[in-house]
Amino acid sequence: MEERTRREVDADVLRDRRMSAVRSVWEALRPLGLGLHEAERVVHLRYEVLGEQVQRTPPDPLDAPSLVARAAALPGRVAAVEALWDGDTVHDWFVLLVAVLDAPEGEGHLATVHHRPDGSPPGVAAAEAGQALASHLGVPFHFASPDVPDDDVPRWRTAQRLAEGP
């Protein structure tokens, strides 16, 4: 990897911008026939080399006041709070906590819950935080697969439509 690319990658790593660093490495090494997996390994090694210098991004807060404030800032009325699994090759499985919105219909991101070495598994932490927020807002909480990572389960709106029938 040329020096300019390494400096760019290190700058991203130091700011804990893993995906941007992977993209830079992948673009630089792709002409040499190396793939995404090799780019991820290079970035992982740069994280190890730079160690304590990396300004780690703090995890999204899961306390009730923070989540209530995030929900209040969304552009619509919160109809439900939902937790759903997602994953990628960098972070493995994690849980997204979202507010399902009405008027306008859509959703707003509240938090991303990764595995925390000193805390509960992501499913447990997201379920606790989501339940508390939903209870505070007086809306339903939906987590179709709290115990097993599955990104192909029915979402809250789909479950509502199925429950309402034809």
Cβ-Cβ contacts under 8 Å for 110 (sequence gap 6 or more):
60, 67, 70, 71, 81, 97, 98, 99, 133
Write down the mean pLDDT value for the chain.
Answer: 91
Q: What is the mean pLDDT of residues 75-97?
A: 89
Residue type, 2: E
Nearest to 11 by CA among 39, 59, 43: 43
pLDDT tens digit string along 120-144? 899 999 999 999 999 999 999 999 9
pLDDT tens digit string along 24-71? 999 999 999 989 889 999 999 999 999 999 998 888 999 999 999 999
Q: What is the pLDDT of residue 103?
A: 78
Q: What is the pLDDT of residue 98?
A: 97
